[in-house]
Amino acid sequence: MGNTHRVKQTDSAMVLLSGGQDSTTCLYWAIRRYGYENVSAIGFDYGQRHIGELQCAQTICDGLGVHFDVLALPVVNTITENALTRAEIPVDIVSAISTKPKDDGNNPPSVPPNTLVEGRNLLFLTYAAIYAKSRGIKILVTGVSQTDFSGYPDCRDIFIKSTNVTLNLGFDYPFVIETPLMWLDKAQVWDLARELGVLDVIKEKTLTCYNGIPGEGCGKCPACELRRRGYEGFMRSQNK
């Protein structure tokens, strides 16, 4: 998965956790890799449409005994206009469910989906870095995926690698950003959950739905559509 450095007994990790499928799978991945006692999580309340995600994250962390901090970032909502944080703006369904860039596939499309919160991943990683360094934690785990990139430039591997360099220079500290899902598609993320023995937890306890319904969700919004398609792909691969 591109993260091949040897794990030391003393390594500890902070997972950027939203309570959705991807980041929750990363939480279990980090626990398998570093052990419960060396994993903590951080979430961000930026006025997102599906705030119930954070409640899912809290419930999961409570059950695991994993420390979970939620940082309120209301300012993100005041400075950008997008459908993910402004209830009055309808989600652009066509662009949100597109799982591939709309142009030749090598470059981000010129018009990203309107669920994009510009700069979001950089803000989240920077705040996580502040927290992590203050606690002596070097490893940051995030569930971004270039495969499901959908026009979000800040989900690309090259952006994450550049951010890693920038953080290490800015904090004079050897952060390691780990991205276990970077090259997985949605079906493969379900398969990773199976491999980690948490398929049911991910299916039932996480929230992806734009209408705030955990597990299988409303079944109608773009996020539910994406999640369902991924699960179907996973099931097909299991039956082969």
- Which residues of this chain interact with a second copy, rule CB under 8 A? 71-73, 75, 79-81, 108, 112, 118-119, 121-123, 126-127, 129-131, 133-134, 153-154, 156, 158-159, 162-163, 165-167, 169-172
CB atoms within 10 A of CB 107: 10
User: Where do we find the tokens 């299988």?
Assistant: 216
CB atoms within 10 A of CB 121: 19
Cβ closer to a second copy: 139 or 198? 139
Reference 175, options 231, 130, 215; nearest CA is 130
Give the shortest CB-154-to-a second copy separation in angstroms.
Answer: 4
Cβ closer to a second copy: 163 or 206? 163
Reference 107, options 149, 165, 162; nearest CA is 149
Give the shortest CB-46-to-a second copy separation in angstroms.
Answer: 11
Give the shortest CB-20-to-a second copy separation in angstroms.
Answer: 20
Cβ closer to a second copy: 108 or 212? 108
Cβ closer to a second copy: 151 or 217? 151
Q: Are 156 and 118 in contact (CB under 8 A)?
A: no
**How many whole angstroms separate alpha carbon 96 and alpha carbon 151?**
9
Give the shortest CB-6-to-a second copy separation in angstroms.
Answer: 25
Q: Which two tokens stand for residue 43?
A: 């979430």
Cβ neighbours for 160, distance < 8 A, ≥ 6 positions apart: 121, 142, 144, 177, 179, 182
Reference 46, options 123, 153, 107; nearest CA is 123
Cβ closer to a second copy: 43 or 112? 112
Give the shortest CB-147-to-a second copy separation in angstroms.
Answer: 17
Give the shortest CB-28-to-a second copy separation in angstroms.
Answer: 26
Cβ closer to a second copy: 148 or 191? 148
